[in-house]
Amino acid sequence: MPVRYGTLCTAPAGWSLRQLLLVLQARMALDHARAPEGGALTVLEALGEASRQMQAGEPLGAGVEYGPSGRASPYAWTLAWCGDLALPLCPDPASREEGVVPEQVLLVLAEALRDWAERAPYLRRVWQARNAVQAALAAEIVRVRIARGGGAEPSLPG
């Protein structure tokens, strides 16, 4: 998944961090509507905090469109695209089928923000955005655990 640093459309190709945040926020909104008790709201809140910390740039999610991928899914769409870039998301709420799962996108965001923060350690908002993305990642792990029929807490071997 090609990613551009920053929040402006200055790189020749790749998803911007803002676009990836928007795709995840839209997906978590669908998941929260599907299963309000399923943990997606916590992911959404953390993503909202990350969005608020991003520097001004392109409008959040500029140019991203959504549609079905043709695979059975409880979600109205499982494909996000912007120009020639496509992000085929996993159609399964439990992240057990083919496609990019939200956790993978969160890992890409966390790493991109880590790299950016190391290159510009004076940008406090970048660190705050990274911390919010890491909180979203932790919440996503809980959401998937709930979707797979487990609880919010990890089970210990007995």
Break the chain into its structural domains and give their ranges. 12-147
Within the chain, strands assigned E span 3-4, 15-16, 65-67, 79-82, 85-88
Residue 67 confidence class, pLDDT cut points 50, 70, 90: very high
Using pLDDT thresholds of 50, 70 and 90, give the confidence band for residue 11. Answer: very low
Joined tokens for residue 22: 């928007």
Residue 62 backbone zone (phi > 0: left; psi -120 to 50: alpha; other: beta): beta
What phi, psi does 49 have (nearest 5°)?
A: -65, -40
Q: Do 64 and 87 touch, CB atoms closer than 8 A?
A: no
**Cα–Cα distance between 52 and 97 in angstroms, integer?**
32
Entry pTM: 0.85
